[in-house]
Structure 1
Amino acid sequence: MSARIVFVTGTGTEVGKTVTTAAVAAAALRAGLRVAVLKPGQTGVAPGEAGDVEEVARLAGGPLTLRELSRYPEPLAPDTAARRAGLPYLAAEDVARAVAELADRHDLVLVEGAGGLLVRYDGQGRTLADQAQAVRGLGLPAEVLLVATAGLGTLNTTALTAEALAARGLPLLGVVVGAWPRSPGLADRCNLADLPRAAAAPLLGALPERAAGAEDFPAVAAASLAPGLYGRWDAAGFTAEHGAG
C-alpha cells in the first residue's frame, strides 16, 4: 500500500498551518502510523534556530521523520527571500524527489507550505501547487488539506484556493479551521456551515484557539480532527452545537 501524501496549505499566513500539521501528525502517530513531515521552504528563521518542523515535533510528541529542504533568513515569500539572500531557489522537482523518498519509508507524508497555495518558490513562479503536481507526476497520490480562519473574509479566500486547486487537477481533501475562537462571533458560527460549501469539500476539523499551549496536545488533536485525519471529531455535531444556521 502506498503512503498517503498530504500537502498542507492555508488561506494565508498565520492561519494555523503548523499547528494543524502537528495535529494531523499527532493523531496519525496515535493511530500507529509512521509519519514524516517535510517543510520545502522555511523562511524567517536564522541558521541554527528551530523552524516549523521542530515545532511540529515538539507538539506531536512522538517519533517523526523531519526534513527541511531550504531555509531563508527573511520572513518573505520563498522566491523573494532566496533572491535577497543570494541563495538557490527551491525547484518543484527537488520537492517531488524528497517526497518520494519519504513515501518509501512512511505511511503518511505531510508537506507544509509557506503562506498560501500560490506563493512563489522560484524564479519561474512555481508554487506549492506545482510541487504537488510534480509529486502526482511521479504517480504518487498527493492531495491538499486547506487550513482556514474561522471569521469574516474566510469564505472568499477558501473559494479562491479551491478554484485554483480544481483548475490544476489537484484534489482538495478538506478544510480545517486552524483556530476556533473561545468566544466565536456570528460570522465564525455561520462559517461552520458555509466553509464546506465554499470549498466544495468537507470540514475536517476545528482546532481550538491556542491549541499549541495545551498540556496534552495529541489528545486535543484527536478530539479536534475528523476520522479522515485520524481523529474522532464530528463535523455535523460540532456545527449543530456551535453553528448559527
Structure 2
Amino acid sequence: MGVVVVSGTGTEIGKTVVTAAVAAVAAAAGRSVAVLKPAQTGVGPAENGDAAEVVRLAGPAVTGAELARYPEPLAPDTAARRSGLPAVGPEQVAEAARKLAASHDLVLVEGAGGLLVRFDAAGHTLADAARLLDAPVLVVAPAGLGTLNSTALTAEALRARGLTGLGVVVGSWPAEPDLASRCNLADLPEVSGLPLLGAVPAGAGALGPEEFRAAAGGWLAAELGGGWSAGEFLARWPA
C-alpha cells in the first residue's frame, strides 16, 4: 500500500487521529511515512492544521504536506469560493501524492469530511483522487447511533466507483459505550461489506505524543500494522 486514502463518513469523527495512529504504527515499523491534506478548512494562516497534528502525534520523522488552506470551516469547494482562493482538483491531489510516494513507503491522503464532499466547482471529490491514484480507501466511522447508514452509504459509493474499501476504523470509541455502539461493532462489517480494522479510544488525540505512539498499535488491526483483534474487542464489549 504505497498510498492510502483516509475518508470519514462525516466530519469531526476522529479521522485525523486515526490517520496519526496509522502513521505512528508504520513509522515504528521502520517505514517512511507522509501525510497529505489536500484541503484544510477552518484554520488560520498561523495555526496548525490536520497534517501538522498528525506529525505532532505520530512523530517528527513523518512528513506533513498541505495543498490549500481556507479560513472558514466549510466544504472545500464552498470555502474556496468564499475566500476567492483557487480550489484543489483531484489531479493536483494525485500528483502531490505520487511525488510523496516516490520518496516515502506510505502516503496517507486525509480527506475533508466525507468521501463525496465537493472539492471544486466541477463537483470533484476525494473519490476522484482515489480513482486517479488507484488507492484503497480506509473509512473512519463514529461509534454510535446513525453510523450504520452513513458507513453503508460510503461503502456503496466506493463500490459504485470501482474503488477498494480497505476497511472501517471506529474513530472515537467511548469509555462507556451505549447499547447502539456495542451493537454497531458487529453490524458495521455486515452492513458495509468491509472488515472492522480498529477502534481508537475517545480522547486519544489528547495523549502526549510518546504515549500516543506507544499505544497506537493496540488500536489497529494487523492489516494496518497493529495488534488489535476485532474478535477480542467484540468479546470485551458484548451487545
- In the alignment, residue 12 of structure 2 is paired with which amino acid? E
Question: With structure 1 as the length reference, what TM-score do the two structures score?
Answer: 0.95
1:11 aligns with 2:9: yes
What is the aligned partner in structure 2 of residue 242 from structure 1? 237
Structure 1: segments with no counterpart, 5+ residues: 137-141
1:164 aligns with 2:157: yes
- In the alignment, residue 233 of structure 2 is paired with which amino acid? F
Q: 2:127 aligns with which of 122, 129, 142?
A: 129
- Could you report, residue by residue, the CA deviation over 1:99-142 in whole angstroms, capped at 9, with x for unpaired residues? 11111111110000001000000010000001111222xxxxx1
CA contact (8 A) 1:29 1:62 kept: no
- In the alignment, residue 242 of structure 1 is paired with which amino acid? W
CA contact (8 A) 1:4 1:107 kept: yes
Secondary structure of 1:218's partner? helix
What is the aligned partner in structure 1 of residue 118 from structure 2? 120
Q: For residues 232 and 74 of structure 1, what CA distance do their matches in structure 2 show? A: 38
Q: For residues 204 and 71 of structure 1, what CA distance do their matches in structure 2 show? A: 30
CA contact (8 A) 1:9 1:117 kept: yes
Question: With structure 2 as the length reference, what TM-score do the two structures score?
Answer: 0.97
State the Cα RMSD in Å: 0.9
Secondary structure of 2:139's partner? strand
Secondary structure of 2:217's partner? helix
Percent of pairs with identical residues: 63
What is the aligned partner in structure 1 of residue 68 from structure 2? 70
- Could you report, residue by residue, the CA deviation over 1:8-30 in whole angstroms, capped at 9, with x for unpaired residues? 01110001000000000001111
Secondary structure of 1:231's partner? coil
Equivalent residues, number: 237
Q: For residues 219 and 85 of structure 2, what CA distance do their matches in structure 1 show? A: 39
Deviation at residue 240 of structure 1 after TM alignment:
1.4
Q: For residues 6 and 110 of structure 2, what CA distance do their matches in structure 1 show? A: 5
Q: For residues 210 and 66 of structure 1, what CA distance do their matches in structure 2 show? A: 22
1:188 aligns with 2:181: yes
Q: 1:225 aligns with which of 205, 220, 235?
A: 220
Secondary structure of 2:218's partner? helix
What is the aligned partner in structure 2 of residue 143 from structure 1? 136
Runs (4+) of structure 1 moved beyond 4 Å? none
Secondary structure of 2:136's partner? strand
What is the aligned partner in structure 1 of residue 199 from structure 2? 206
Secondary structure of 1:204's partner? strand
Q: For residues 72 and 48 of structure 1, what CA distance do their matches in structure 2 show? A: 12
Q: For residues 62 and 41 of structure 1, what CA distance do their matches in structure 2 show? A: 21
Q: For residues 212 and 31 of structure 1, what CA distance do their matches in structure 2 show? A: 21
Deviation at residue 98 of structure 1 after TM alignment:
0.6
